[in-house]
Chains A and B, each alone.
Chain A
Amino acid sequence: MISIYKVSFKNLLRKRTRTILTIFGIALSAWVLASLLGFNKGYEASLSRDIDNMGFQVLLTAKGCPYEAATLMLKGGTGLRYMREDVVQQVTGEPEVERVTPMLMQVVFDPNKGESGGISAYLGVDPVTFPKMKSFLEFRQGGWFTDPDAMEVVMGYEAAELEQREAGDMLLIPEKEVELKVVGILKRSGTQDDGTIFMPVRTVQTLFNKPGELTGLGIKVKQDADIVAFEEKLYGLPDVQVVSLAQVKQTIMNLVSTARIMVFSIAIIAVLIAMVGVINTILMSVFERFQEIGILKSIGAMPWDIFKLIWIETVILCFMGGVVGTAMAFGLSKITEVLIRNLLPYAPTGSLIQLDARLVIMTMISVLLIGVVSGMYPAWKAARIRPLESIRSEGN
């Protein structure tokens, strides 16, 4: 005996184009829904990884000191302030601290960069602690410095590409007219390290005449430590400011949440449109089969049988739309990511959309729920058809 599911499926095949278009409409909604849920997960994971890739959770700088190269560029290298090196001992003594790494950034004006000159930045790092803290950095060529006072540089991939340097080449510091040997070229990491020129911190202190001075101190906190309480403690140190990367992350996440609410609202509208589309399609199908349903009832079909028949059609439509939509979400995730990257003011590196089995199940459940809800009215309408009335309408 033919099952009710088969009958429902065959009914959908009777108007193939309409069925395919309805499935496509549901698929688009499922695609948007799955992509958004995947974005929610992927963005946070990528942002966390970017911040973890900095190697430290807290950055200590001198008060008023811009703490990254981009800010230095904007300020034309005029905003540097310094803190004394003995802050390293003070911070290392704290029980929450796992590791610290001192840094000294210096900039020089290079008149031969572009038409009106530009600035070049050099980051002095400790050859012992910095590589441990940035253990994820890998070398394309060479390795770290041979000596804490070495006249050597390690270059991020993009910095090396701009200067066309390879391990073994010499690099000239403009203004200072000092030559340094390139001992390592890092692989691309997708972080700001790609554009950085690293030197031993003591070499930078000597060359730029800044003995015992630092511009930053990276602090890696122990896993079980209370970061907030530790930051409060650091505020007690004189003339330093604390940059909490956890706070930076939270601020960015807050900004993104605002955008996300707007996008979710659009997704809900898309889902509602799909729902109306499904109701319309099934309702049209019920009206077209008005007499047919009447005959079915006259030969013994109960209202519940008709309700089930129509309801199952809706669920099949939504199930197929959900399958196609989640497949689209996987297949088009790269394109969706490019679109999102163009829209966001800040997008971390790595995959912004992370889809997994849990998200697929969530999307499918949502889409099936749409089917169950939107199929109710047409099914109820079909179940209420009176056999005599419908058969009589044939002659009209």
Chain B
Amino acid sequence: MKAIRFLIVCIALTAFAHPSAQAAVGCDLNDPDRDVARLFPGSTGYKTMYVSIDKKGGEALLLQIEARLGDKFQGLFETADVPYTIYEIYKGKDKIGYIHGVNQKGRYGGLQVFLVLDVEGNIQSFYFQKLTSRAAKELRDPSFGQQFEGLNLADFYKYDVASKKTVSPGRVDAIKNPSPDAADDFYASLRATKKNLILMDEFLYGNKYLKDFKGHTP
């Protein structure tokens, strides 16, 4: 009888566990097999994880992320229910890093900013998967992305996304806007990078960079 009761409870519970058909859209790699091999040369495999602010910590987490970012989540599409896709990269059995992308509102369209990160949270490469900009060519030039390599969240805390200025001298100062036409999209890409790094610190790095944030609160 106990087994039958258990079966009935299981059926009753699964009846309410259907996913919503109208969830927000995240930022995935267009062709993960090809893109992971290209962005992470030497990798042999990857695992995909889906995380959202809603599920990870809800409103409290959203407020913490906004505080660390120094800006509010804005508009129709930057919401707590956006599912973030994180690619965990392996070489054999060893985890060698992550790839994570975020959507960001640009001047003329959406930007999809992907970061390739090592296990310590340092940027190994920067990639615009999608970009609509009058200076798209300059922004997609490898020399622009190379300016982000080696930086981490501790560096980006020195950049204030609201005022679009650095609050203390640092390595982010070295990132130059490639074209006067691209100012809005340039700042949007800096915001996207900082947001991306904060999300990864919250989701995967165990908030190891939180101490740097407190140290740089204006």
Interface majority SS (helix, strand, loop, mixed), chain A:
mixed
- A100-132 CB mask vs B (1 if < 8 Å, else 0) is 000000000011111100000000000000000
Q: Is the CB of B106 within 8 A of A114?
A: no
Q: Which B70-90 residues sit within 8 Å CB-CB of chain A?
A: 75-77
Q: Do A332 and B11 have beta carbons less than 8 Å apart?
A: yes
Q: Is the CB of A164 within 8 A of B18?
A: no
Please tell me if B24 contacts chain A, counting CB pairs below 8 Å: yes
A residues 12-49 touching B (CB-CB < 8 Å):
16-17, 20-21, 24
Interface-located stretch among A172-180, A216-224, A260-268, A355-363:
A172-180
Interface residues of B in 1-37 (CB under 8 A from A): 1, 4, 11-12, 14-15, 18-19, 22, 24-25, 30-31, 34-35
Task: Take A334-B15, A334-B18 as given contacts and tell me if A172 and B134 are in contact as well, using a CB distance cutoff of 8 Å.
Answer: yes
Known: A112-B128, A114-B30. A164 touches B25 (CB 8 A): no
Query: A20 contacts which chain B residues (CB < 8 A)?
Result: 1, 4
Cα distance, A187 to B128, chains bound together (Å): 28
Q: Determine which of B11, B38, B110 lies in contact with A163 in the assembled complex, contact meaning CB atoms within 8 Å.
A: B110
Partner of B109, one of A165, A328, A332: A165
Q: Which of A71-79, A82-90, A154-162 contacts B (4 or more CB under 8 A)?
A: A154-162
- Inter-subunit contact B109/A160 (CB<8 Å): no
Closest to B39 in A: A115
CA gap between A165 and B111 in the complex, in Å: 11
With A141-B76, A162-B110, A163-B110 in contact, is A112–B1 under 8 Å at CB? no
The binding surface of chain B is classed by DSSP as: loop
Q: Choose among B1, B76, B130 the residue with the greatest number of A CB atoms under 10 Å from its CB.
A: B76
Task: Tell whether A391 is near chain B: CB-to-CB under 8 Å.
Answer: no
Q: How far apart are the CA atoms of A161 and B109 in the complex, in Å?
A: 10
Q: Which residues, 130 to 188 on B, are CB-close (under 8 Å) to A?
A: 130-134, 136, 140
Report how far A237 CA is from B216 CA in the complex, Å: 73
Q: Is the CB of A331 within 8 A of B15?
A: yes
Q: Are A164 and B14 in contact (CB under 8 A)?
A: no
Instruction: Report chain B residues within 8 Å CB of A113.
Output: 130
Which one of B19, B24, B75 has the greatest number of beta carbons of chain A within 10 Å?
B75
B189 contact set on A, CB distance < 8 A: none
Interface contact B25-A172, CB-CB below 8 Å: no
Chain B residues within 8 Å of A112, by CB: 128, 130-133, 136, 140
Residue A140 lies at the interface, judged by CB distance under 8 Å to chain B: yes
Provide the residues of chain A in CB contact with B1, threshold 8 Å: 16-17, 20
Q: How far is the CB of A29 from chain B (nearest CB, A)?
A: 16
How near does chain A come to B9, taking the closest CB pair, in angstroms?
13
Question: Chain B: which residue is nearest A180 at the CB level?
Answer: B108
Contact residues in A for B77 (Cβ distance below 8 Å): 160-161, 164
Contact call A166/B15, Cβ cutoff below 8 A: no
Give the distance in Å from the alpha carbon of A20 to the alpha carbon of B2 in the complex.
12
| Chain B residues packing against A (C-beta within 8 Å) | 1, 4, 11-12, 14-15, 18-19, 22, 24-25, 30-31, 34-35, 38, 75-77, 103-111, 128-134, 136, 140
Jot down 12 A-B pairs with beta carbons below 8 A, ordered by A: A21-B4, A112-B128, A113-B130, A114-B30, A114-B31, A114-B129, A161-B25, A163-B109, A164-B75, A170-B108, A185-B76, A332-B14
